[in-house]
Each structure stands twice: as C-alpha cells, then as structure tokens.
Amino acid sequence: MFKLEYELIPPAGKPCMLDSFSPNLITVISFAQEEAVALEHYSVDPEHLLAGLLRLTDDCGAAVLLRRGASLESVINEIKNESTKATKLESTTDSLSLSASAKLILESAYEAAMKMNCRECGTQHLILALMKYDPTAQILANCCGASISGIESEARSLCVSLPPLDDIQLLKKQVSTWQSRAEMARDQGNDELFRQAIEQKSKYEKLLADHV
C-alpha cells in the first residue's frame, strides 16, 4: 500500500488536504489501488477511484450512484473496454502511485469541500469531482443512462457546511501531523521523506509564529 501522506504533500503554506479527508474517502482510495492492481495497471487513475467508491456499498455517496444503476461490475467492464488502459504491468505489484489526473480529482474534491465550508472532504465531494472529469463522467453516463442527471444535485445535498476551524488550532494540528510523519519516515530509514516532512513542519511552525 502506498503512503498516501507522501503522495499528497501540499505546497508551502497550504494545509494538507489529507487531514480533511473523511475515513470513508481514505478507504475509497485504498480500494482504488486494489482495483488498479487487480487490473494490472501502472497507476491509480480517476476510473479506479470510481470503482473504489462503488465497493463501499454502505456509504451515502456510493448509494447515490448505486441507486442510479452504477455498479462495481459495470464500471470495471467500462474500464477494461477503454483502449487507453491496454498497457499493463509486466509483473503484479501491490504498491502503485496516484496518477497526476487522480491527484487532480482529489484536489478538486478537496476544493469543493472547502468552498462549501465543509469540515470534511467526503465521498460526495469525490462524486462532484468525478462528474467534472470527462472519462469518469462518460463511464457513469454509460452505466446510469438518463438517471445520471440527478447525481450532482443529490451529491451536493449530502454536503453539510460547518463553522471553519480556528486558524491557530489548524496550524497546530499541521505542525503535529508533520512531526508524526517525520518520525515515521525516520523510523523507516527514508531520509528524503524525513527531510520533506521536517520542511513542511518548519513552514507551519513559522506560520503559527506569525499568527501568535
């Protein structure tokens, strides 16, 4: 399994969007990697995120798609039929990285959650992002037919706005988070990831000092 925290390192001065991901969204990303591995693909793409979402059948976001006729089987069949997915791994691996487009999808979901003033970025925000990405929107159109029209509005109805976190508390959380990641990287003997984590921690410490 890839280390998601190292896949989504934020730019300097920006909060880490991973900290805002709901547990269900993180599970979806894990499922997406499993689907990409099973299909012998080189990376985790937006299509795999869609498949991962449909594996989480008890999730409210997945229910929006399931009610409209989408299923894990139908999405996997659509992925297999895409000519762009013809290239496969030479050998099976259980460690794949997020593709650039998958990262953009997650960033779009995060931005949607922030614009709606939601405390968490959940699967409903992921649906909104997937609907804006032509390949996954086309897969859903093929699977759902005419009922695709209500997906976005229902997903938006699941987005609950909450009061924003206090800036100082958020920065303190970032400092603590990156300290933990630095310790994890150090324990793993990964000097490069340790350096990156320490740099991120230092940047948030400086921002925190500027606020107090």
pLDDT of residue 8: 66
Domain coordinates in residue numbering, the chain: 14-157, 167-211
Choose the weakest-confidence range: 35-39, 47-51, 187-191.
187-191
Average of pLDDT values for 62-75?
Answer: 93
pLDDT of residue 163: 44
Average of pLDDT values for 120-148?
Answer: 92
- For the stretch 14-28, pLDDT in tens is 567 778 899 999 999
Give the model's confidence band at 91: pLDDT under 50 very low, under 70 low, under 90 confident, else very high: very low
Q: Does 1 score more than 60 pLDDT? A: no
Q: For the chain, what is the mean pLDDT?
A: 83
Fold for 14-157, please state it. Double Clp-N motif (1.10.1780)
Task: At 203, give phi and psi (nearest 5°).
Answer: -65, -40
Contacts of 25 (CB under 8 A, 6+ apart): 109, 121, 122, 123, 125, 126
CA distances to 46, 72, 124 from 75, rounded to whole Å, are 12, 5, 18
pLDDT of residue 85: 46
CB contact at 8 A, 178 and 200: yes
